[in-house]
Chain A
Amino acid sequence: MSALLRVEDLQVSFATRAGNVKALHGVNLEIAAGETLGIVGESGSGKSVTALAALRLLDRAGRIDGGRILWRGEDIAHASRRRLHALRGAEIAMIFQNPRAALNPIRSVGAQIIDALRAHRSLSHAAAAAEALEALRQVRIREPERRMRAYPHELSGGMCQRVMIAMAMACKPALLIADEPTTGLDVTTQKAVMDLLGELTRDHAMALILITHDLALAAQHCRRVTVMEQGRVVETAAPATLFTAPAHPYTQRLVAASPTATSTLPHRDSRSAGPQLLQVSHLTKRFADGTLGVDNVSFTIAQGESLGLVGESGSGKTTISRLVCRLMDADSGEIRLGAANIGAVPACDFYRAPQRRDVQIVFQDAGESLNPRFTAFDAIADPLLRLGADRSRIKQTVAEGAIRAGLSPDLLGRYPHQLSGGQKARIGIARALASQPKLLVLDEPTAALDVSVQAVILELLDRLRAEQGLAYLFVSHDLNVVRMLCARLIVLQHGRIVEQGDAQSVFRSPQSPYTAELVACIPRFAL
């Protein structure tokens, strides 16, 4: 089999303020014409760098230190700028994560496709426009004539990615590199985009390199999958082999950590049938632009119970988490914590309310939720000081809290930027637990984490709940994760509850079509 693209011993380094950092330590890859290859790895594994290096798109700081990049046998690692311009787009095309940002915001999408076409072919403007329109049609954009004149901000994320695909396909390249093409998109959109991508590459006999952190996604769409870790390829195999008989320890860990429909946590079902803790009734919140963010939502959580809140972006799940945690005021409805109507206290005054210590929150992005000027110690001590702890024992209390959250007390003197994602997540949890709350709102606490870290954090949360008798309101877009941690869940769409019930049964036999669609769209690798 003659390789279309072969990467041999590729070494890349970046000049950073901390000196030269090696990103790739001799990567070897190859892909044949019409083949599909998945590259899977966690952050820092070098999967995107490999792709960018292959197209010589590394930014100024990046440098290819060694190795060869053979395109149809021609080494393009040292090709001229002119050759690269001819190559990019026409022979190898690439699409990216966050499609809206990947499009020029002040140029109509039609013009951008035309630009791509005319960069490689001497077409008249009219001819290019006609081809661009055809390209849009091909990616199944409705009303393509109208969309030609649209600007990226006027399109949804999924549509933008379709435009990107149209642009990439416009010059009929032999290889398409898709770098996390669906990350950040809702699960339903993700499926549609991936299906389209698979279909188009098949139809045009185009080779596809799919770069993703989601093992299941890669396995679902690719014939071969390469697993990378810290700038090295650890294993390349067919999906079935990877899942059933991973050779490398890292692959094994990765497979184990990836949540699937069958993953479980030890304490999930140990539901203590305690008295009712939180009662939310008829909660409604209208945004400044007039849309209903939360529409007449009611639910309860018992002491020690863990309730999952699932929905796509815009479903109102994050808003509910803010409302419950009294960081935002509702327009109507009641929130009761035990006997107290905490919904009646305005959010801006709630910091003085006695219930402040009872409801705490863990944020989605652990890094962003830590004050950059606070050490880990300061972050955990802050709620203790504010919510009236024994000041003389503060050092000890903080250290205890850190240990409970699995954070080594040695790290307490560090600032957020000196800590890893997992460590930051632990600080966030330790901080939330510091005031010994009764209810913990978990707002996608693992969404920004790599799967291996996610698995550990989920385990931690599970254990803490069991140990401390906490109640959780767990908000997530990832059904698999919710199912692992929660016995009961609520599915939200457009601010409304479309389904609720026992997690297992919702999963197995969804009642509403929306839930069914959600479940169906979860990437999974069927053996």
Chain B
Amino acid sequence: MTKSAAVLRLAGRRLAASLPALLGVVVFTFVLMRVLPGDPAVFFASGPSAGQKEIEDIRHQMGLDRSIPVQLAFYLRDIGTGSLGHSMTTGQPVLKDLEERLPASLELTFAALVLALGLAIPMGVLAALNPGSTTDHAVRFLCTLGVCVPTFVSGLLLIYVFYYLAGIAPDPTGRIDIFASQPPSHTGFLVIDSLIAGDFDAARSAASQLVLPAVTMALFVLAPLARMTRASMLAVLGSDFIRTARAMGLSRGRIVFVYALRNAALPVLTIAGIVFSTMLGANVLVEKVFSWPGVAAYALDALLATDYAPVQGFVLLMAVIFVFVNLLVDVLYGLADPRVNAA
């Protein structure tokens, strides 16, 4: 009771404290976009017959004919009213675009994170139980191998091998087979939506589309997660209370899983939170390679087109998610670790 109240208070305080950072993100992005050397109006007026007048029109339409502080003020006002402006690239309101694309990114990132954790935690535990052994070195080498291949290379290779050569994987063109029917949207996660709709073919299609990109991303984050699991497991296994548990004759399974792993999971949770936020923003290249209609690829296209609003919206969204994920991690941490309350 007092605990949940404390957690809530913590959450509220953290959210309030993150507001200046969010404002900073907005302003910084805004200014950064304005110093980009391209003129978006020129870019979008680059049809075969567009002249100076069209450029001026677009400039006016995008509000670029005003001074930067005025533009910023307008932008902040728009954010206040829940609008993130329009994308010139897709012609849609940025909010709508992000709303449609965020579930795709989230679904992929979640799948990748679950996959990575599912592999990294057992590997890290195994390595920590036998430090210095061949298993330990093998785990370390394998995980490191994953980090040193750029995601666009591993992605293209996976496609080449599993789609082109072996023909096991579905065509890497988005979230669901283009010929399959899209389930009605409840969660935005196609696999879950399909299951809700009882459409198992669609669910299988959506899930199989997820595999390759999720593997590509998971490979890249395996190393930090496994390393952290190993290190924190090692630290916990070497701690006094594990010795107590052993001295009390607790079974090995209980010591490893209940005593050690639960304690070791806390730092892993923190890293997992960071990994999640980073992946969500950094899977630009994976989304590109797998034609995944996510937010990062959207932002990349906008950035190259000097399309301000989507980039600004994307960065703001990522910052908000970053704040919320951190908060979630803190809350989970607080629930899992009784010491946090005391602090």
Contact = CB atoms under 8 A, between A and B. Distances in A.
Interface stretch (B159-167, B205-213, B246-254): B246-254
B241 interface: yes
Contacts of B241: 101-105
B175 to A, nearest CB: 39
Nearest to B130: A60
10 contacts: A59-B238, A86-B249, A88-B246, A102-B240, A103-B244, A106-B336, A107-B259, A115-B254, A119-B249, A151-B338
Interface in A51-96: 55, 57, 59-60, 81, 84-90, 93-94, 96
Contacts of A168: 248
Interface in B231-271: 238-241, 243-252, 254, 258-259, 262-263, 266
A154 interface: yes
B297 to A, nearest CB: 41
Interface in A98-130: 98, 101-108, 115-116, 119-120
Given A88-B246, A153-B338, A119 B238 contact: no
A167 interface: yes
A102 B247 CA distance: 11
Given A108-B338, A115-B250, A168-B248, 5 more contacts: A96-B244, A105-B337, A119-B250, A151-B338, A153-B339
A116 B240 contact: no
A209 interface: no
A168 B247 CA distance: 9
In the A-B complex, the 3 residue pairs with the smallest Cβ-Cβ separation, listed nearest first, are A89-B249, A88-B249, A89-B248
Contacts of B337: 105-106
A89 B244 CA distance: 9
B131 A101 contact: no
A10 interface: no
Interface of B: 131, 238-241, 243-252, 254, 258-259, 262-263, 266, 336-339, 342
Contacts of B247: 55, 57, 88-89, 93-94, 96
Contact of B240 (A87, A89, A98, A167): A98
B136 to A, nearest CB: 12
B338 A106 contact: yes
A485 interface: no
A166 to B, nearest CB: 11
Chain B contact residues, majority secondary structure: helix
B251 to A, nearest CB: 6
A282 to B, nearest CB: 33
A168 B131 CA distance: 30
A430 interface: no
B179 to A, nearest CB: 51
A219 interface: no
A179 to B, nearest CB: 10
A102 B244 contact: yes
A164 interface: yes
Contacts of A55: 247
B246 A167 contact: no
Contacts of B252: 81, 85
A129 B122 CA distance: 32
Contacts of A119: 248-251, 254
Contacts of B254: 115, 119
A180 to B, nearest CB: 12
A493 B57 CA distance: 80
A65 B73 CA distance: 77
A274 B252 CA distance: 67
Contacts of A151: 338-339
Interface string A159-193: 00000100110000000000000000000000000
Given A96-B240, A102-B240, A57 B263 contact: no
A104 B131 contact: no
A85 B251 contact: yes
Given A102-B243, A104-B263, A106-B262, A115 B248 contact: yes
Contacts of B266: 106
A151 B262 CA distance: 15
A104 B336 CA distance: 13
Nearest to A104: B241
A89 B251 CA distance: 11
Contacts of A90: 249
Which of A57, A119, A164 has the most C-beta atoms of chain B within 10 angstroms of its own C-beta? A119
Contacts of B246: 57, 88
A101 B250 CA distance: 17
B246 to A, nearest CB: 6
Contact of A85 (B131, B249, B336): B249
